[in-house]
Amino acid sequence: MTHHSLTVDRIERGLVIDHISAGSGMKIYHHLNLDDLDCAVAMIRNVKSGKYGHKDIIKIENNIYLDLNVLGYLDPNITVNVIEDGVITGKQKLILPTRIRNIVKCKNPRCITSIEQEVDHIFELTNEGARSYRCVYCEQAAPKTE
């Protein structure tokens, strides 16, 4: 029961990013730039989870804007719970973004992004079933997450 008291009920208002595959919590934390937030952020690692074995959880106090779709690319099993007055008021399954910007870098040494300074690294979803993305400049496959 100690796990449960850790995961949800302490937060009054905010977001709980749940079902992060164990070990990926810090990666998600960095990709969402949570370091930059002024509000309280809790990173909980290796929580026991019936469905997934173990998982990581990130709790964010207060309502902030997060690009939730990018989580769909980073880890499709993630769920986001919206907490108000200490209870879950919404649960959102994430969809795959059609386009991701500056989340991963193109690894093709012949790609224009390897030398051009002001250019964003943009990948587009090319196959939803396979969750595959390709660089919009050179069409190199994006590195697979997880």
Partner 1 sequence: MLRLGGSVIGFESSGSSSASKGESVADTIRIVSSYADVCAIRHPKEGAALVASRHALIPVINAGDGGHQHPTQTLTDLMTIYNVKGRLDRLTIGFCGDLKFGRTVHSLISACVKYHGVSFILVSPRELKLPGYVREEIEAAGAPCAETDNLGETIADMDVLYMTRVQRERFFNEEDYVRLKDTYILNKQKLASARPDLAVMHPLPRVNEISTEIDRDPRALYFKQAEYGCYIRMALIKDLLKEARG
Q: Could you write out the DSSP letters of every residue in 13-71?
A: SEEEEEEEETT-HHHHHHHTTGGG-SS-EEEEEEEEETTTEEEEEEEEES-----THHH
Which lies closer to Zn ion via its Cβ, residue 4 or residue 110? Answer: 110
Please name which of 94, 55, 92 lies closest in space to residue 74, comparing C-alpha atoms.
94
3-state secondary structure of 112: helix
116 binds, among partner 1, Zn ion, none (CB under 5 to 8 A by kind): partner 1
* Enclosing H/E stretch for 72: helix 69-74
Give the binding site for Zn ion (CB under 5 A).
Answer: 106, 108, 111, 135, 137-138, 140
Tell me which stretch binds partner 1 (CB under 8 A): 9-17, 55-63, 88-96, 129-137.
129-137
Which lies closer to partner 1 via its Cβ, residue 4 or residue 110? Answer: 110
Residue 105 binds partner 1 (CB under 8 A):
no
Q: Which of 7, 24, 81, 113 binds partner 1 (CB under 8 A)?
A: 113
The contact set with partner 1 (CB under 8 A) reads: 108, 110-119, 126-127, 134-141
